[in-house]
Amino acid sequence: MTNFWILFVIFSIVVYAESYKGELLASVVIFREGQRTPLKEFSQDPWKSDWESIGYGQLSKSGKKQMYELGKWIRERYAEHLPPVYTKNSIHVQAIDFDEAITSAYMVLAGLYPPVDNQTNDVADQQLIPVHTEKISNDFLFMGAACKQFPASTTTSSFRESEYTDRDRLEERLGMKFDPNITLLDVFDTISAARAMNLDKKPSWSDVNFMNVIENNIFNQLAESTSTLDQAKIKIGPLIYEITEYMNQFIPGPPKNVYKPKFKAVFYAAVLDTMISLINGLQTAEVLVLPDHIPEFGSSIMFELREGYLGHKYINIFYKNSTDDLAQIKIKDCSLDCDYQIFLKKVQPLIHEHETAVAECEDGPYEEPQSLEDKYYGVILPFGL
């Protein structure tokens, strides 16, 4: 999977330059949290002391810098689109109500809006910009509810019978003993955190086949909740609704209900589940063409609406990994500069208001978590990443 993705990125970097034309009208940037510590503690974790010094589920020093650099990169890309001084109607920022997502949002904003005269104060030498959140049970960015529409396996993230993902074989390969409640997702989360923080001390992790199999299993398990159109409509439909309602305001036509001010850009600080659900759900609906891939810490998906020749409105979708590489994602059966109305028609089967999506889950969302442990490791275990 990794080699295929690299080739895809190289090809896309060559062709995406075609889209640098026309006036940028609106942008939606959805980014995953920066490098962080694992979400869950287990007794045989060889890096337990490293995590405890920061706290579980917290951005590392490198993770904060990573998101700050992402903000600077966005500032450079949108230098002519976003004003240097923040105003209420210039951007909207929303984060999932998890520490790692909120911290990531603030670090991106620090890079995006560096200090400007008359916009700082004696308390903080920076532009202070609000980050909005919703209750987890009412957040369209985190439709990780215990829902009968989703396969049961998406709430267990179990070990699978294979050379690489069987519990006993994996313990032997990693030289680690797992607690009874540890899942394959927990193991992957810890491995990802250790590698991101350069704590990689396990020779077996240099085995490309080993890591690819682990990644494939995790992607497939998390993607199961968007494996049918009905599931994808519930899981990502509310997010697609938000994106299209925002962009529709820039399209001439009959008067519309103004859903939000005409922000120049909207930013969503998300987590792994959001990113995988969005990628796989759009593929399930046959909107996008791209290989399966676990988005890295600090990666982002960008929707850009532009106005070209004679007022033609078109949309481009990009994927940016944790470095400066930017790849255009091909919209199926559409040109690189895809007519917005064609895109709108393609995503129409997914568009779903959040309240309707929740109602269609027979059990509603899930009970509001009572503790941090429940928040991440209860019935929504796979969705806290």
**% of the chain at pLDDT higher than 90:** 43
pLDDT tier at 336, thresholds 50, 70, 90: confident
8 pLDDT exceeds 90? Answer: no
CATH code where residue 93 lies: 3.40.50.1240
| Mean pLDDT within 67-82 | 96
Please report whether residue 79 resides in a domain: yes
What pLDDT, on a 0 to 100 scale, did the predictor assign at position 367?
46
State CA 333 to chain mean position distance. 25
Q: Concatenated DSSP letters for 300-358?
A: EEEEEEEE-GGG-EEEEEEEE-SSS-EEEEEETTS-SSEEHHHHHHHHTTT---HHHHH
Please report whether residue 149 resides in a domain: no
Please report whether residue 98 resides in a domain: yes
Q: Which residues pair with 36 in a beta bridge?
A: 59
Please report whether residue 211 resides in a domain: no
pLDDT digits (tens, 9 = 90+) for 281-298: 999 999 987 777 789 999
Please report whether residue 278 resides in a domain: no
Give the number of other Cβ atoms within 10 Å of residue 4's Cβ.
12
What pLDDT, on a 0 to 100 scale, did the predictor assign at position 261?
77
Please report whether residue 264 resides in a domain: yes
What DSSP state is assigned to residue 249? Answer: T
Note down the domain range covering 43: 2-143+257-273+283-301+309-377
pLDDT digits (tens, 9 = 90+) for 208-232: 677 777 788 888 888 888 888 988 9
Q: What does the alpha-carbon distance between residue 312 and residue 310 come to, in Å, rounded to a whole number? A: 6
For 247, residues 6+ apart whose C-beta sits below 8 A from its C-beta are 25, 26, 28, 303, 305, 315, 340
Q: What does the alpha-carbon distance between residue 235 and residue 149 come to, in Å, rounded to a whole number? A: 9
Strands (E), the chain: 23-32, 91-95, 265-270, 288-289, 300-307, 313-320, 326-331, 338-339
Please report whether residue 205 resides in a domain: no
Please report whether residue 208 resides in a domain: no
Domains identified in the chain, total number: 1
Helix (H, G, I), strand (E, B) or coil at 289: strand
Of the candidates 289, 287, 294, the residue with the CA atom closest to the CA atom of residue 271: 294
363 pLDDT exceeds 60? Answer: no
